[in-house]
């Protein structure tokens, strides 16, 4: 999913398009997978470069995103096929297409503006809506279920691990106390609980007090970190020789995971010690990392699209 800014008139802006194209290097005849197609912003630019003769496999777990992408790209476009699936299932997607390998894979992580700006989806701490936060129907639980059913210890773990929230224990305690009075059902109810939990002096200079809590719950609801680890692994297995993978992330936990996975696969099975991320533990390196440091959006793009501010791009190429 891409974190996109609204350019006015309902136009969604994909993040770092020029940089994505530079590192992905799509060309005529290539087969490219957009594993998080969203509204189709990146996909539109990719299709322009791979036709005639190329194919875009558009994947997204959100049925509404697939519909938006079809509107943008043209449902009858011969170069594009659509799959409402999780990108971690890339192998089954390619099997259904009769493909054994692809030339490129794009993963644009996080919550999309289509989801964030729709109060019904429950992703925004600024807009009233039910606490849902499911990116697609494959998610087993809603944020409301987690908030109202998990133990205080488990809530603390989720907030600390996925939100890197300093006040995780205190917020979890306030959640449990609040739900004992009545269930926490809406985004605004949860935002108020979090705001009450964080001491006033600690709120200054940290943005909206509920931001990290909402991030953590969204990641937990959608199993985003498991999807990312498995998606990178399986995606790289599906790349042809010299095929490229480009990943856009929007928070530090995602970026560290991508960096660690790329480094592991670039250095072979001995890195990181005792924690290989590649199924099968390759003896030889299978990747060449193309971005020594994460690529960031330009100041001009940030000015045009403030939601791109946190974006980090990492890219790698399959070797061997």
Beta strands in the chain, from DSSP E residues, in sequence order: 5-6, 12-13, 31-34, 55-59, 80-83, 102-108, 239-249, 287-289, 312-318
Evaluate if residue 11 carries a pLDDT over 90: no
Distance between CA atoms of residues 143 and 1, nearest Å: 18
* Residue 273: per-residue pLDDT: 46
In the chain, CATH 3.40.50.150 covers 5-114+224-318
Fold classification of 140-222 is: DNA polymerase; domain 1 (1.10.150)
**Contact of 300 with 308, CB cutoff 8 Å:** no
Evaluate if residue 277 carries a pLDDT over 70: no
* Residue 2: per-residue pLDDT: 39
Evaluate if residue 78 carries a pLDDT over 90: no
Q: Which residues of 276-313 are buried (b: 16+ CB within 10 A; e: fewer)?
A: bbbeeebeebbbbbbbeebbbbeeebbeebebbbbbbb
Please list, in sequence order, all residues whose beta carbon lies within 8 angstroms of the beta carbon of residue 242, skipping any fewer than 6 positions away: 317, 318, 319
Q: What is the pLDDT confidence band of residue 202, given thresholds at 50, 70 and 90? A: confident
Average pLDDT on 56-82 reads 90
List the beta bridge partners of residue 318: 287
**Contact of 230 with 107, CB cutoff 8 Å:** no
**CB neighbours of residue 178 within 10 Å:** 20
Percent over 90 (pLDDT), the chain: 78
Distance between CA atoms of residues 4 and 208, nearest Å: 19
- Assign domain 5-114+224-318 to a CATH class: alpha beta
Angle between helices 224-237 and 211-222 (to 10 degrees): 50
* Residue 75: per-residue pLDDT: 59
Evaluate if residue 31 carries a pLDDT over 80: yes
Q: What is the pLDDT confidence band of residue 7, given thresholds at 50, 70 and 90? A: very low
Three-class secondary structure of residue 272 per DSSP: coil
Evaluate if residue 8 carries a pLDDT over 70: no
Higher pLDDT, 280 or 152: 152
Q: What is the pLDDT confidence band of residue 271, given thresholds at 50, 70 and 90? A: very low
Evaluate if residue 281 carries a pLDDT over 60: no
Evaluate if residue 83 carries a pLDDT over 70: yes
* Residue 196: per-residue pLDDT: 95
Kindly compute the dihedral angle of the four CA atoms of residues 310, 275, 91, 87, in this order, to the nearest 10 degrees: -20
Evaluate if residue 270 carries a pLDDT over 50: no
Task: Give the chain's mean pLDDT.
Answer: 90
In the chain, CATH 1.10.150.170 covers 140-222
């Amino acid at each position: 999913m891409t974190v996109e800014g609204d350019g006015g008139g309902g136009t969604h802006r994909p993040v770092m398009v020029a940089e994505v194209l530079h590192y992905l290097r799509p060309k005529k005849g290539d087969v490219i997978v957009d594993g998080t197609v969203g509204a189709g912003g990146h996909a539109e630019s990719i299709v322009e470069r791979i036709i005639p003769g190329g194919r875009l496999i558009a994947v997204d777990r959100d049925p509404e995103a697939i519909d938006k992408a079809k509107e943008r790209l043209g449902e009858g476009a011969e170069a594009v096929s659509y799959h409402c699936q999780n990108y971690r299932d890339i192998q089954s997607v390619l099997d259904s297409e009769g493909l054994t390998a692809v030339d490129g894979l794009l993963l644009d992580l996080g919550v999309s503006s289509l989801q964030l700006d729709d109060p019904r989806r429950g992703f925004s701490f600024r807009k009233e809506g039910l606490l849902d936060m499911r990116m697609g129907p494959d998610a087993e639980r809603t944020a409301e279920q987690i908030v109202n059913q998990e133990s205080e210890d488990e809530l603390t773990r989720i907030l600390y691990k996925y939100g890197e929230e300093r006040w995780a224990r205190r917020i979890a305690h306030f959640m449990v106390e609040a739900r004992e009075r009545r269930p926490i059902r809406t985004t605004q109810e949860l935002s108020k609980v979090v705001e009450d939990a964080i001491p006033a002096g600690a709120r200054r200079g940290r943005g909206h007090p509920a931001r990290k809590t909402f991030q953590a719950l969204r990641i937990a609801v959608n199993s985003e970190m498991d999807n990312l680890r498995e998606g990178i692994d399986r995606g790289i297995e599906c790349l042809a020789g010299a095929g490229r993978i480009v990943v856009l992330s929007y928070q530090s936990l995602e970026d560290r995971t991508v960096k660690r996975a790329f480094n592991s696969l670039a250095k072979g099975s001995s890195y990181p010690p005792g924690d290989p991320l590649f199924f099968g533990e390759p003896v030889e390196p299978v990747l060449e990392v193309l971005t020594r440091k994460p690529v960031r959006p330009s100041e001009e793009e940030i000015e045009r699209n403030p939601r791109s501010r946190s974006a980090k791009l990492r890219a790698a190429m399959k070797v061997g």
